[in-house]
Structure 1
Amino acid sequence: MKPNQVNETLLEIDLNALEHNYRFLRSLIHKNTLFLGVVKAFAYGSDAVAIAKKLEDLGVNYFAVAYTKEGVNLRKGGITTPILVLHPQSVHFETLIKNNLTPSIYSNFVLDAFINKTQEKKLQAYPIHLKLNTGLNRLGFDEPELENIAHKINQSKSIRVEGAFSHLAASEDLSEKAFTLQQIEKFTQMCALLEQKLTASFLKHLCNTSGIINYPEAHFDMVRSGIGLHGYGNTPEIDKQLIPTATLKTIISQIHTISKGESVSYNRKFFAPKTMRTATLPLGHADGLNRIYGLEKTNVLIHNKLAPIIGNVCMDMVMVDITDIPCEEGDEVIVFGKGKSAESFANNAGTISYELITSVSQRVKRKIIS
């Protein structure tokens, strides 16, 4: 085996690449604009604590996770920076408060439940962020609700509005620019109404990675980035400025010679058109290489040559065509990452890089490179 070559399926996480990506994104915003690092879903399939620690050292102002449990794991890992929980459930409010996490309040039900919990615990001015619905129609208060929620907040001394935010639906798609500008205007108006009713200012944040890049006029007080920190900017031009933080590698377990007409894998979806060589790799859909990537839709990299995935992806294994690639059992294979974009790998199968990189199973070993 060559030096530094892997001998098992492994996800390498490069913290130097993370720093490069952070500094590039930071260069696109004003020096006084705060930066929130989104580290939900194991920091986009990698290692949330390792990623958050590095970003904390670099000066990130805030973190965001999807659920309370993710925030608790960061606190257990030693993260002290404020953490916004984007989709908290009322059943977890006790744990959320105990771990000094900031809830996103997105509905009257959640607002009432959180006020009750903070009053029960006799808290004063516990910070919350209000989620505003500007067109994604997923979570958030609609404009007609603002006066009523402002009244509830003004009546309670146990909470305070630290921030208000919304989410752009299509910031990466410039053909939807008119809709995005409409969202920005709506967000501005809703925040102005809230400030008037609450008689207090608060942090405003709207832009995700593509928003940072495409809509500098909408950076407000803070921006949020998740996928960009991991090396993907949603456009080929920006991708050239970024470095993938995670590289999924594996090895060749076995090589077969397949005769013309023989089938490969479950359900016999692939028949050899000629005598060919195949390599079996030790990862499958239980590792995050979902079945959509089979049937020659995409490929892996072996000795800088593309090897198409043939037949159906199995739970723990996948087969690739190596007929024209000189290689041996034990040789290294790159599934995605440096030298092989997760964006192209995913696009070839009709999905997106977000889904691919966040699907890497926790049974795949992680290796931190710093």
Structure 2
Amino acid sequence: MAAARSETRPSRPVLIPRAAMWFGAVAPPFISLLLDEDAIDVLRWDQPRGRWASALRGVAAIALYTNAMLLAHAAAYNAGLARLPLQKLARPVRFGVYGLTTAVVVTAGTLLLIPVLGVVSPDMVEDPLGLIVKGVVLSALWLGVVYMYVQFMARIRTERLLAHREQLAALDARVRLLQVRTNPHFLYNSLNSVMSLIATDPELAEETLGRLARLFRYSLEGSERHVVPLGDELSNVTEYLEVERIRFRERLRYAVLVDPALRSIEVPPMLLQPLVENAVKHGASRRVEGGSVTLRAELAGDDLLLFVLDDGPGPEGSSHRGTGTSLLDLRERLRLLYGEEGRLSAGVGPDGGFMARLRLPARWNR
């Protein structure tokens, strides 16, 4: 099934993630203890009102200064340095570029902010050089923490991606194993249909062998493909039923009631085969007068419903007690491929007999 293709421009790397910008909202009270010796007085309610107000203005000035520096660094790094191929440089050289950029940003930003900071807290700008040095040191420490955070998150994403790939590989291996487990089961039963024809009707035996060859080819190709058109799956099941009709003759009747528009929907290979085989083994073959097998398909919203029905004796009426392995394997395949979206239900049909119903996403593609 064709899917609409959309082209997106590759995004530039973000050197300072948005999460790091929260630093500006929580750091000023702590930074104020480093930049303003009187800032601690804001916590002392017994201090003179003027001293307390001065300390509060100092915290406000530091908050303004810190957030301005954060925005300036974000602009310089994400909009400036991110455009340069810095990853091609050696790490010491790259860190040198970062350090030089920080020094320039802090120096220029501090000089531009001094008039504003002087209005809010004159004490803060009494030593502009000291303020620049403290700004560079604090910015370097902050960028170091940001760098470690970015590296840590990148490693987590890499490990998650590797774990996801390993899970997909394990899933693929288990699905293939279940397919291989199912395939010999129905091929062995089909070969029995040919054995009785070799001596009595060589031409019919040759035709049947041709059908079996196609069944073998589909079986082998199915282990290499994750999905096939529903039409291919129905054709394979029809080949199987034609082989079984050689053995049961007029005792076996079948009908495929599927809208041609649904035949292009992709489904896992060998999905219907075990259900049809069970319908023949436990349904038509258990009655002297024979029976019929019906395959139906319909859409229910975004889901595809597949039905395999027979008019045999029903779940408890067959004298042949199977192991239930084919249904268990099929449920396991659906669980691995679709999770909770793929379901198999089985039981008495609406008119008696036995009915198996598959429900899977109609637009699923791998």
TM over 0.5: no
Q: Which has the higher strand share?
A: 1
State TM-score, norm by structure 1. Answer: 0.23
- Rg larger in structure: 2
Structure number having the greater helix percentage: 2
Normalised to the residue count of structure 2, the TM-score between the two structures is: 0.23
Q: Whose relative contact order is higher, 1 or 2, with alpha carbons under 8 Å and at least 6 apart?
A: 1
